[in-house]
């Protein structure tokens, strides 16, 4: 007689919550890896007048050894100018450099960017309160 009784179907919610939490953490970690400026350069120069800017279309990183990286690939100054010419003059460029990067290297990159006709140029800095 016991087998003839109707059994109600129960949906277990606790395992579903565990799975949803796992998916949330997985996608959050995936999104953090997709951010273009993933923090390679941690000691930005400081400024009291630094302002928040929208995300750049092109991020140019100056390394301590003098190399230039665009999209995590090393490029030379003429190649940077050629690439910016193909992207057009309305491309927003942000130059990121460590505190130890020589000012001459920053000026060389600025000249290469301006030679391509780009007018939206920013230099990344951390704000000092």
Give residue for tokens 């309305």: 90
pLDDT of amino acid 43:
67
Q: What are the sequence ranges of the domains in the chain?
A: 2-34, 46-127
Say which CATH architecture domain 46-127 belongs to. 2-Layer Sandwich (3.30)
First to last CA, the chain: 78
pLDDT of amino acid 40:
54
pLDDT of amino acid 25:
92
With a cut of 70, which residues of the chain have pLDDT below it? 1-5, 33-43, 53-56, 129
């Amino acid at each position: 007689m016991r087998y003839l009784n109707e059994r109600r179907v129960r949906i277990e919610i606790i395992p579903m919550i565990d799975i949803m939490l796992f998916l949330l953490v997985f996608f959050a970690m995936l999104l953090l890896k997709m951010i273009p400026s993933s923090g390679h350069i941690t000691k930005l120069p400081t400024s009291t007048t630094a302002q928040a800017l929208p995300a750049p279309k092109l991020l140019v990183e100056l390394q301590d050894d003098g190399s230039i990286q665009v999209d995590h690939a090393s490029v030379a100054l003429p190649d940077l100018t050629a690439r910016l010419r193909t992207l057009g003059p309305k491309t927003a460029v942000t130059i990121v450099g460590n505190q130890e990067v020589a000012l001459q290297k920053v000026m060389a990159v600025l000249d290469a960017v301006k030679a391509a006709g780009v007018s939206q140029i920013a230099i990344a800095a951390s704000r000092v309160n």
